Structure 1
Amino acid sequence: MSTPLKKLLKSSLKEKMLQVCHTKIAQKGDNVGLSFYAFFANKNDDPELLMEAATWWIQTHQLDHFEKAHRIVKMLEAEA
């Protein structure tokens, strides 16, 4: 089975994800977990961006539904 190609995020989504992670860590501590839904409003107002985040989260990195925010930050910062 081949490894899927690494999918890089749009810079605007990457920055939003970093901001949300840092905010959640500041509010709830270093052990806080979140899902990719944390980066979006409770309504589906940007389905393409939601699918981009879901693809990065689920297909590219095969993450669990909830992951530690500090882990997501490290992964995002490691991407070019």
Structure 2
Amino acid sequence: MKRDIHPDCHPVVFQDRSTGRAFLTRSTATSGRAIDWEDGNTYPLIAVDITADSRPFWTGDQRVIDTAGRVEKFNRRYGKRSR
């Protein structure tokens, strides 16, 4: 592997703004904010809007769109027109 061509990858804490849950991972992202983590070290903190903790698909709060109702409404309005 070539030296000095890869970006600096370091430990970073990402925190979900809506739930407050945070997790430590490695990233090339940087931040001016910092947080004291459970292991006693200080890491850069990056606040994000959506994580798997708050995304509706993963939490089960996702709304199901009634496509059958839409099709029926379309057919009533525009379908089966005589020429």
Q: TM-score, normalised by structure 2?
A: 0.21
- Say which structure, 1 or 2, has more relative contact order (CA 8 Å, 6+ apart): 1
Please report the TM-score for the alignment, with normalisation by the length of structure 1.
0.22
The structure having more radius of gyration, on CA atoms, is 2
